[in-house]
A and B are shown apart, each in its own frame.
Chain A
């Protein structure tokens, strides 16, 4: 595949905007297995930034990558973007498909557009930021462990079963596309949830919330969480943090760590 090395600015490197040497891969039409093998090869070489141009639906980009490499994707990555990954930052200049961040352990995925279903399925660590909206079952079975606490921030809205079976972590939905007074459209929010917290900005119809979760008042710690992650969202997507943080936010949290404790006859 055509490949060149050039110097470019990386927008969202952890330290902010800075200039790096970047390898550019012209990815159009390259099968995913070949493309991913090349990415892994470059990372092994010690390349710290890779840009994929013309990506159209290739799956598993960044899967199981473990270095703090910066991947910029110009195009639409296919399903399972960043599955099992632990450390890289992936920035998508466009939308992403299903399963992005599947069972991810660490790193960040920043999507300048929308994303599909099951974003962050079972993720244990790292952060996912989606500028616009997402599909069904987002954040399903996210879990936290010791110091690892996964975070998903969605600018628009989510479809049904948001945060189902959630066992830990933070899910923030900003609802920037909701008209004034219009409630979040997601049904069964937090069904079976037994850990973590969901923050929804704007009106929430409590009938649509899973029966295992309750609405909790926001404490000082919640405001710190929102300031930090909504702030990050605004830095990535150049949004107005002050306006978004005005809320109002609804916090959903599990009523018990043992939602299914009394099911059995013994």
Chain B
């Protein structure tokens, strides 16, 4: 019998370790990716070995070469990106089940995995299923001949957006001037505004970073968002992770969440933030709570959330003091009372079937901002079946809500912020034309910081230093560099938004808001066009 080579022995050990005492029935543990190493380029520098938290690469000391355990690869491209000689390629494993339109490979692999573990399927980031992306079926208008377009390079173009309740009407009184010993008299020519504005958030760009908690992402990632929000004149959102001491200096650019677990909600938290957001739901997992496993609650996370280290951080599915719109009003006003009516209160909900009346109720409950998160919104961890099957696309939800609030005459009483997959500046222009005041971005922001959407955030092994608390990994994301990349993204999108607005002959984002005449549908049926409240292209 031929003796095993070292290489052969290692592979044998590996496969035994993988299989363990499981009954081998499936391709569930077959590699999802194949790591190809060009041996003519590889210099065995082991950068890949050090970079991979999933232990895909290892150095074989006997034959002095670097090898891979493909089964552990999640396809995050960290090694491919950092390999100095470009020796690595990661490909999807072409190993396929017999083609079946109904029983796809994914459907089978999921069953094998659940038969082995008895657990719910878990995933990260937004819905990866091929639902129709309505942004891509709407096109924008531009001025030709009959009205002039505007050149944003030469002419002022206003993107400043104010979020908060707008007054019903403006009231004035005659301005008084001193009349010597007689006291004061009306000036006769000037009027003074007497209407008091509700608290507003001023955004230099109609884009905010949506809720991502410290715990689900690293402190360096949150710091990057906070610094970028400050630099760009906008806001980031704490999620339900509390406010780490390092984030207090960015309070003026912080929206602090109050969610069902009330983690880290204490007097200084309420004082420091610029606005508060009651989190009812999230697009990736409408109707279910959150669950940060105990092993991720290290000392720092425990201090920030104000919970014991090592214990599960459970966010119940509902707020247990909110079972109705009246109860929601109670919490909104509790927060307003707690902050002296100086801060806008936002309510974030997931886009679900009856979103229009729900949003109407939220506005009537006294929210200054209604944030709606669509079906494709991201997450650090969600059950796969929930992420992929619950909720509705944000485009349809936004159109329905804006329409409903206008019909009820209450659209001015709250600003509308939408998220749940805004991928580029055109999505933003379309969202505003459909009726949004501003958008929330999260996945786009993570991608700007290096995320490659491997969808394994829940493992805590993010090689890009984003969705992890491992200090060896988190130091890979320098918060100043992260902030610079995010600020660049916002600048680039602002330039594009201005170009698109200028092309339409619009010089202020105010004039674009709810201006659906600038949208046309392509490849949509009449029901979809009606739901979006837009005409078909050609009309």
Contacts and interface: CB of A to CB of B under 8 A. Distances in A.
B320 A64 contact: no
B245 to A, nearest CB: 14
Contacts of B307: 143, 145, 167-168
A105 interface: yes
A122 interface: yes
B311 A257 contact: yes
B8 interface: no
Contacts of A17: none
Interface stretch (B31-39, B81-89, B119-127): B119-127
Interface in B307-345: 307-308, 310-312, 314, 316, 320-321, 330, 333-334, 337-341
Contacts of A141: 260-262, 314, 316, 320
Nearest to A254: B311
Contacts of B117: 264-266
Contact of B294 (A86, A261, A266): A261
Contact of A266 (B119, B310, B341): B119
A84 B294 contact: no
Nearest to A161: B320
A63 B341 CA distance: 13
Contacts of A66: 267
Nearest to A36: B337
B293 interface: yes
A265 B266 contact: no
B312 A262 contact: no
Contact of A145 (B114, B260, B270, B308): B308
A164 B320 contact: yes
B267 A260 contact: no
Interface in B149-179: none
Contact of B330 (A79, A257, A265): A79
B120 A258 contact: no
B124 to A, nearest CB: 11
Contact of A86 (B262, B266, B321): B266
A194 to B, nearest CB: 6
A99 B337 CA distance: 15
A64 B118 CA distance: 46
B270 A64 contact: yes
Given A118-B321, A266-B458, A83 B308 contact: no
B529 interface: no
A165 B294 contact: no
A265 B320 contact: no
B265 A263 contact: no
Contacts of B316: 141, 165, 192
Counting chain A CB atoms within 10 Å of each CB, which of B303, B308, B459 scores highest?
B308
Contacts of A86: 266-267
A59 B293 contact: no
Interface in A71-128: 79-80, 83-84, 86, 98-99, 102-103, 105, 118, 121-122, 124
B119 A264 contact: yes
B113 interface: yes
A154 B326 CA distance: 27
17 contacts: A59-B337, A60-B334, A84-B334, A124-B306, A141-B314, A146-B303, A165-B314, A167-B307, A167-B311, A195-B308, A258-B294, A260-B314, A261-B312, A262-B119, A265-B114, A265-B119, A265-B121
Closest 5 interchain pairs by CB? A265-B119, A122-B262, A64-B338, A265-B117, A60-B337
Given A167-B307, A264-B119, 9 more contacts: A33-B341, A59-B330, A59-B333, A84-B267, A84-B338, A146-B303, A165-B314, A167-B308, A195-B311
